Chain A
Amino acid sequence: MKGIFLSQLPLAAKVYCSLLLVGLGLGFLAAFVQAVTAIGLSYNEVQGSFAPETPMTHMEHGHMSSERQMDINELGSSAKVWIRTPLLIQTSHTHLFGLNLIAGLAGLVFVFSSLAEWKKVVVLVLLFGGIIVDIGGMWLTRFVWPPFAALVLVGGISFALAYAAIFLVSFYELWLKKEAPR
C-alpha cells in the first residue's frame, strides 16, 4: 500500500503489529471458552438461546391455559443462557462497537500486506460483513424465523476465518517474507 508493506516495517512497528494481533487472538480464545460455557456451539444451542420462547403445550385458540404431563428431562440440565430482547439490544450495541473496532485495528494492519488488492478486499468484506451477518442473524432469529440462527454461525465463522487470514498473512509478511514486495 503506497509502497509500504508489512515486510518492510521497522522493528518496533513489526512488534506492535504482532502483539496487537496476538492480543486480539488471545481475546478470541477467551471468548471461545465463554461461549462454550454460556451458550454452546451447536446450531440448536444457538437457536435455543436467541429464538423466542415457544410454548411447551398446545394452547388452543380462545383457551386461557393448557397443561400436560412432562418428563423432567425435557428441561435442560445445563445452565445455559437464554438471550432475551433487552439483552439482545445490550449485546448488539456493545458488540457492534467492539467487534468493529477490533476489525478496524486488525484490518488496518492487513491493508499493508502485499497481497493483491482484490484479495485484501475479500478478506475485509468477510471480516466486517461477518459482524453484520452475525448480529443481524441474532435479530432475525429472534423476530423473524428461528432457523436464521444459522446466520449467527455463518457470520461468526466468516469473521473468524477473515481474522485468521489476517493473522496468518500478516505474521508471515512481518517475520518470514524475504522477497521484495511486488
Chain B
Amino acid sequence: MRPIPFILCLAAASVLAAPGIAQAHMTPPVVYLSDRDAVVGMTAGAKKHFVREVKLTPEEQRAIASQSGWQADEPFYRFYLGRGEDGKIVSAVTFLTEFTIHGPMRVAVALGPDGKVKDARIIEVTEEISTWVKPLAAGGFLQQFVGRDSRGSFAVPASHAASQENMVHFYGEVTARLIHRGAILFDTAFLKRGEM
C-alpha cells in the first residue's frame, strides 16, 4: 500500500474532527443551569423582562468595600429584571462569580423590590468544586438566606461549619459571600439611588 493516498484519506477524515480537537483543552466546568433558565425560574410571575446595567461610582465602591470587604471593581454589573403588568419589579437577578483556587464558582441571586434575597442558585462550578457544593445544594443551604437583605448576616451557620469536610464549609462560605454581594449590589444600585 502506498503511503500518500492512505495518509491523505485518513487525514481528510481527521479534518472533520479537527475543530473539536481544537477546542478540546478546556478545564472541565460543570454548568448546572443556563442563564436563561435561571432568569426565567427566578423571576416567576414577571410579565416582561428587562436588562439593566449599572456602573458603580468610586464612592459606592468604597462604601461596599467598607461594608463587606468586597472590591466591586467590574466595569459594570448586570441585573435581569422581571416586571409585572404594572411595571413594578417582581425580582432582579444578578450573576456573581468568585475565583477560588479550584476554579470559578458562579451563583445567581434573585432580589425582591425590598432588597431581600428571594432565591439563589448555583450556576457553574468546576468539576472539583461540584463534589463539595452538591451537599450544600441538596441540603437546602442556599435557601436559608432567603429573606435577608444586604445588612443581614450571611455567616455560615455552625451546623454547616461543623459538618462533613472543611471544603464543604469553605464553599458554603463562598456561596454565602456571593449571595451577600448580590444583595449589596441591589441595595447600592437600586435602593440607595432611589431607582425603584
Contacts and interface: CB of A to CB of B under 8 A. Distances in A.
B53 A84 contact: no
Contacts of A34: 24, 26, 28
Contacts of A98: 25
B66 interface: no
Interface stretch (A14-22, A75-83, A104-112, A139-147): A75-83
B44 to A, nearest CB: 12
Interface in B17-38: 17-29, 31-37
Contact of B36 (A33, A55, A77): A77
B27 A91 contact: yes
Size bracket of the A interface:
35 or more
Contacts of B29: 38, 81
Q: Dominant SS at the B interface?
A: mixed
29 contacts: A28-B17, A35-B26, A38-B31, A39-B23, A56-B51, A56-B78, A57-B52, A66-B53, A67-B51, A67-B81, A70-B80, A71-B49, A72-B36, A75-B34, A77-B37, A79-B31, A81-B26, A86-B99, A87-B27, A91-B25, A153-B22, A157-B18, A160-B18, A161-B18, A164-B15, A165-B11, A168-B10, A168-B14, A176-B1
A81 B124 contact: yes
B30 to A, nearest CB: 9
Contacts of B27: 87, 90-91, 94
